[in-house]
Amino acid sequence: MPERRTVALVTLGCARNEVDSEELAGRLEADGWELVLDAEEADVAVVNTCGFVDAAKKDSVDALLEANDLKNHGRTQAVVAVGCMAERYGKELAEALPEADGVLGFDDYADISDRLQTILNGGIHASHTPRDRRKLLPISPAERQESAADVALPGHAPADLPDGLAPASGPRAPLRRRLDGNPVASVKLASGCDRRCTFCAIPSFRGSFISRRPSDVLNETRWLAEQGVKEVMLVSENNTSYGKDLGDIRLLESLLPELAEVDGIERVRVSYLQPAEMRPGLIDVLTSTPKIAPYFDLSFQHSAPGVLRAMRRFGDTDRFLELLDTIRGKAPQAGARSNFIVGFPGESESDLAELERFLNSARLDAIGVFGYSDEDGTEAAGYDNKLPEDVVADRLARVSRLAEELVSQRAEERVGETVQVLVESVDGEDGAHGRGAHQAPETDGQVLLTSGEGLAVGRMVEAKVVGTEGVDLVAEPLLGSFMGGDEEGR
């Protein structure tokens, strides 16, 4: 009888990392590893790191150190780093953090079982040397699909696999294993990015943009529905570019209605849209297709023209407001959210005032604000006109206060609206928590339902908004409005 091998996956960062962790889990389970939730109960703790900004890197290092402590009083024998921070820094991270028994890059994912077994046996797998992953695929998007088989693309495992590889039954099972019973799951639409924003290092370690084939996205969504998932969120570094390497930049407009028709799926959400790439046809599909959330996660980053040009981005306050007006003209209750960077090199007081003008007029449901900091290997890190750290910190605090006030005001505007709420937790008769169509997981607040009677996780229910708590809504379920879901709960 084979020796019992246990592994736990600790995931940090974005929804894309969550998909990658579930692919790793699928690969490991297919090779006989037993997945456990608690790292203390695992022979190997795999930490899927985030390498986006300094705060995320610190969280990743802290998680690795915390897992390493388990080796002193738990079952854990090895701690392994994977994910963006591991890919981005490789040997440098291994040398700076000897507590990690292994630092594995994306190229190791296909052989993750062998890598972990080697480390568990006391062997050493050499940490990889980071490279610019943009150079792994052809410059021309039209030529990339032919080369994709030779490049590691986490989260792109096909949905029809050879016998014995798939971790679940059925021909549509992807190389993926769900790590929780959440009724929401993310699906990779694409990977990488072709934009060259001067503040962002992601393309260097995630690579050039490449789409997944629609059949793989559809089949994975069908499989997730069979696992009880009610909402899928399409994720990538830039969803508006989907299909450009497949010969059809409007491919998302035709894929979304197909996803909405998958049996069992109640809502489809699209994340991370580039304002400069928004198309009238895409806006029409997002605002008029049943089961497609009228949700716009728009990457504005700033609104002052000079700052945007220094970022190598496009647009300005008035054009952004016009885009939002167009969206709300088609779907008045549409959700809109964005992130912004303050304190970018060269940002003047008038630039900051222009951003505040935009925020005051945009009526965004959720706002993320970040203070600028240099990122290794980015163009902006070499700019001369940096602002003092205390000025960046003051501007961050100032805009964050404004953002908090504005999203609370936007929530108050929704009092009286009827919202479709996907129930995600039930507290008995005392109430339940869920999210409306304008709220993505983790980032955009939630709906607090005043009664949980008759509700179950995964249930879609109509509710009337009767109050707010900051960015969160308080809503009363409407009688007879239950629209599907798991009768027994989870």
- Residue 74 pLDDT: 75
Q: How many CB atoms lie within 10 A of CB 263?
A: 7
Please write the tens of the pLDDT for every residue from 286-305: 999 999 999 999 999 999 99
Query: What is the bridge-based pairing of β-strands 44-49 and 472-477?
Result: unpaired
Picking from 258, 252, 257, the residue whose alpha carbon sits closest to that of residue 235 is: 252
Query: Average pLDDT of the chain?
Result: 90
pLDDT band at 479 (very low <50, low <70, confident <90, very high): confident
Q: How many CB atoms lie within 10 A of CB 324?
A: 21
Is residue 443 scored above 50 in pLDDT? yes
Count of helices and strands (H, E) across the chain: 14, 18
- Give the highest mean pLDDT range of 8-17, 51-60, 425-434: 8-17
Beta strands in 250-385, from DSSP E residues, in sequence order: 267-270, 295-297, 335-342, 366-371
- Residue 282 pLDDT: 98
- Residue 169 pLDDT: 47
Please write the tens of the pLDDT for every residue from 171-223: 455 789 999 989 999 999 999 999 999 999 999 999 999 999 999 999 999 99
- Give the highest mean pLDDT range of 86-95, 151-160, 461-470: 461-470
- Give residue 42's identity as a one-letter amino acid code: A
Sheet holding 366-371, edge to edge: 295-297, 335-342, 366-371
Q: Are the C-beta atoms of 473 and 435 separated by less than 8 Å?
A: no
Is residue 448 scored above 80 in pLDDT? yes
Is residue 249 scored above 90 in pLDDT? yes
Is residue 166 scored above 80 in pLDDT? no
Query: Residue 244 class from Cβ within 10 Å (0-12 exposed, 13-18 middle, 19+ buried)?
Result: buried
- Residue 172 pLDDT: 53
Q: Which residues contribute to the annotated binding site?
A: 14, 50, 84, 193, 197, 200
Query: What is the bridge-based pairing of β-strands 432-435 and 447-449?
Result: antiparallel
Is residue 146 scored above 80 in pLDDT? yes
Q: pTM for the whole thing? A: 0.91
Which domains are assigned to the chain? 6-130 (3.40.50.12160), 141-157+172-413 (3.80.30.20), 415-477 (2.40.50.140)
**Cα 226 from Cα 261, distance rounded (Å):** 14
Q: Which residues contribute to the annotated binding site for [4Fe-4S] cluster?
A: 14, 50, 84, 193, 197, 200
